[in-house]
Amino acid sequence: MLLAATGEGDKYKPPTVEHAFFFDKIGDGSWIASVKAMTLLGLGVVLIIAFMIWTSRNAKVVPSKLQFLGESLYGFVRNSIAVEMMGKRDGLRWAPFLASLFIFILVLNLFGIVPLAQFPVTSHFAIPVVLAGIVYVIYNVVGIRKHGFVGYFKLMTIPPGVPVAVLPLVMTIEFASNFLIRPFTLAVRLFANTFAGHLILTIFGTATLYMIDQASLVTLVAPLSAGMLIIMTFFELMVAGLQAYVFTVLAAFYIQSALADEH
């Protein structure tokens, strides 16, 4: 359908890849109003700060509905991720960071189903890379601070009880897994899921508009495509929350593994 829509004489033209990731060009197209990802990133930060201030001001022992909403969101991350993954002492210490990470990713993901925005910011690969880089630096720094450089390197590359004969092979695998593969998979997992979801919604939305525009028998199939668009929108809502949760859980696990006395 998308290929057919590019033929001469058709009224409807599918959106380009550029249109899916950028705002429309202004004037003769010599400049772009703003990159979607950066604009929505800034908007997301403002919304998160405003939400936190709004829900935490005039805090009371018996919380209001807004205060309860903010506390429930923070409490979920603190109890179900931080304390569950890292224990009570370290979990309470790292809960603010993990809650900020979870809420930040969740909001950026949810932009993918927000009208007018309709773009999950984390589908721009630079954003997951930066987030994974932050987590990577944090868990390595805290690990080195606790164990020292040599002690941390041994902790992350030499599992206890490994025979000396296979130690070089095991050290190579552990080094690649903990220092090279971890940040890569952390970034790619978040990016790939949100990017794929964004393209799926774009395809179903474009197909629906194309079939409606044809004024022929193919128009009868438009409700099916529209129905799939609605179903996939709810699916992406679930994915937005799930990917924020997975990223935060892995961040907590990596920090906990760096602080552990042994693996």
pLDDT tens, position by position, 153-196: 988 888 888 888 888 898 999 899 989 999 999 999 999 999 99
In whole angstroms, what is the distance from residue 67 CA to residue 101 CA? Answer: 20
Tell me: pLDDT of 86 over 80.
yes
Q: Would you state the pLDDT for residue 39?
A: 83
Whole-number CA gyration radius for the chain: 23
When pLDDT is averaged across residues 199-225 and rounded to a whole number, the result is 79
Q: Would you state the pLDDT for residue 1?
A: 37
The tokens describing 118, both together, are 């309709």
| Residue in this structure with the two tokens 């949810």, named with its chain if needed | 110
Tell me: pLDDT of 70 over 70.
yes
When pLDDT is averaged across residues 71-99 and rounded to a whole number, the result is 92
What pLDDT band is residue 199 in, cutting at 50, 70 and 90? confident
Q: Would you state the pLDDT for residue 6?
A: 42
Residues 200/112, Cβ–Cβ less than 8 Å: no
Judged by DSSP in three states, 177 sits in: helix
In whole angstroms, what is the distance from residue 135 CA to residue 139 CA? Answer: 6
Tell me: pLDDT of 7 over 50.
no
Continuous H helices in the chain: 17-21, 36-56, 65-77, 84-110, 126-147, 149-157, 167-175, 182-214, 222-259
Which of 23-27, 38-42, 102-106 has the largest mean confidence?
102-106
What pLDDT band is residue 80 in, cutting at 50, 70 and 90? very high
Q: Which of 262, 6, 247, 200 is nearest to 104 (CA)?
A: 247
Which one-letter DSSP state was computed for residue 261? S
Tell me: pLDDT of 28 over 60.
no
What pLDDT band is residue 251 in, cutting at 50, 70 and 90? very high
Q: Would you state the pLDDT for residue 67?
A: 83
The tokens describing 25, both together, are 């060009």
Q: Which residue has the higher pLDDT, 127 or 262?
A: 127
Supply the mean pLDDT for the chain.
84
In whole angstroms, what is the distance from residue 43 CA to residue 22 CA? Answer: 15
